[in-house]
Chain A
């Protein structure tokens, strides 16, 4: 039901002092590679999912961006724009390490730190006394501390604002190494320099909706009544935009973890059934291991195929009892796969578990067979802790050591608990 939309009145611009700081690590993966290898500094570098011509560029360096090289481009396109572009494969362990170091450092400045993605963090100073939070001064100190403690090549853009949305927008005003504030005093001036698509969350479809409602600029959007925005978006989302643009907090929501999954982009679209089963088996093993490490079991299993003709097929299945053993998850995946159309060229595949239940395997079961299976799974996981992931793996996975490598997902990081898990299993460094 919700609140009747006619009761959602207009609110004024938030005049409270800025309390949110958004930190964005500039060209994250590429900058970390340049920090790691001093011979790459100042050069046009791009980290790509694969270094082959069809590989997708994940992060161009600041220098490469000046030549128009962007995230999402193919390596081939990047090389066309810049023949001396240095292409590197991703090194997720290194990026997670820097992310953890950054998190530790930021926690010395503010107790409330949110990881938004591998390269974005929010500091919420709302509950810090105003006299102790001269945010511009703190931001300058953070920039210096990052260079001192993580590496001299590391730069961040920092945005300060009364809410998360405007803080992120402020961090994007000057890159690299920017520091800007958006508040009630300069909100109109800043928005006047932007187009609708510059607002995070407004892409082609939302832009078209706003155009249809006669809203052509962020300033038009700021001045529009909540009812007009709700009519444009045909939902409560319009009211949220009304609040967001006026500096009121609407994005401090943690949706929690809904699923755990892995995907894989195929090099060869005409892959045979046996090879596909091997890939699905490895994806399932990765999902199962990660799920158990995070202390979950799951009732739902989901399988998706993306085809070369841009088509999509997906099916899901619910189990009456929670699943934890990778073998049981794979059994469901194989059942789903049996129903998939086989003739088309495949582009990528994804396996995920949903309907998660926080239930560590250590919890004993009344059923004897179930208890045996739990003990066996725990023993296999203990071997993985000691000798490395997939030290014992299904025979189907033989020879797949270099297939489906570790990767970092874009977008919101739901893996804070995973990072902490890794921290907990990492002893204090012997050196440092």
Chain B
């Protein structure tokens, strides 16, 4: 089941200075803290002047599409999915 939305969420982002890797570590959504285990793809797009970083991540059970607006530094959850057909 796949659902799209535009919901503000709390995200914990980790930067590893040794590997140069950046990874969202926790997502707070619907009163639950999800621990991210894998980043599938990280890409960027522009909405007007604002550069948006998109992190496609999973906690092993659920998929989250997280968008970081680099103008406001706010996070939006734009998609969740359990990887099963609708």
Contact = CB atoms under 8 A, between A and B. Distances in A.
B60 to A, nearest CB: 8
Contacts of A386: 48-49
Given A38-B38, A39-B58, A94-B43, A431 B22 contact: yes
B82 interface: yes
B51 A426 contact: yes
B41 A32 contact: yes
Given A43-B83, A432-B22, A36 B45 contact: no
Contacts of B22: 431-432
A37 B47 contact: no
Contacts of B70: 430
B57 to A, nearest CB: 9
B41 A36 contact: yes
Contacts of B38: 38
A88 interface: yes
B83 A429 contact: no
A404 to B, nearest CB: 18
Given A38-B58, A97-B45, A429 B40 contact: no
A388 B83 contact: no
B18 interface: no
A98 interface: yes
Given A86-B84, A86-B85, A35 B40 contact: yes
B35 interface: no
A98 B82 contact: no
A85 interface: yes
Interface string B5-35: 0000000000100001010000000000000
A387 interface: yes
Contact of B48 (A37, A93, A391): A391
A387 B63 contact: no
A135 interface: no
Contacts of B74: none
B42 A432 contact: yes
Interface string A17-39: 00000000000000010011111
A87 B45 contact: no
A93 to B, nearest CB: 4
Interface in A368-399: 384-388, 391
Contacts of A385: 48-49
A84 interface: yes
A430 B44 CA distance: 10
Contacts of B2: 86, 88
Kindly name the residue among B40, B53, B82 whose own CB sees the greatest number of chain A CB atoms within 10 A: B40
A40 interface: yes
A422 B20 CA distance: 25
Interface of B: 2, 15, 20, 22, 38, 40-49, 51, 53-54, 56, 58, 62-63, 70, 81-86
Given A37-B56, A86-B86, 16 more contacts: A32-B41, A37-B63, A38-B40, A39-B81, A39-B82, A43-B83, A86-B2, A86-B83, A87-B86, A94-B41, A97-B44, A97-B45, A387-B49, A422-B46, A429-B51, A430-B70
24 contacts: A36-B40, A37-B40, A37-B83, A38-B38, A39-B62, A40-B83, A43-B83, A84-B85, A86-B2, A94-B41, A94-B43, A151-B40, A151-B41, A385-B49, A388-B48, A391-B48, A422-B46, A429-B44, A429-B51, A429-B53, A430-B51, A430-B53, A430-B70, A432-B20
